[in-house]
Amino acid sequence: MSGGFIKMLKKRKELIPLIGIVGCAALGGMTASVYFLLTKSDVILNKTGNPEPWETIDPSKPQKLMSINQQWKPVEELELVKKLTR
């Protein structure tokens, strides 16, 4: 099977850059997915362990790759509702 693929690449050398670019894009996508899965607090795998993970997110820590002039202030009404529902 792989011998046929290598023979095809030797015959059609113009496909080599295309395969390289598509391979790099796939590798980059997988790497980004694993990075966000392991490092971001709003991405969860096990919903039964913590059904509301957004409640434990630190608001002072930025969740975006780049934030310009972002300031966080708690909403008083929302804090009151949180206290009443617990």
Residues 41-79 have pLDDT tens digits of 767 777 677 777 777 777 777 666 666 776 777 788 888
- pLDDT recorded at residue 25: 98
- pLDDT recorded at residue 85: 82
pTM: 0.53
- Rounded to whole angstroms, the maximal C-alpha distance in the chain is 71
Mean pLDDT of 2-29: 92
- What HEC string does 36-65 produce? HHHHCCCCCCCCCCCCCHHHHCCCCCCCCC
Contact between residue 45 and residue 37 where contact means Cβ atoms under 8 Å apart = yes
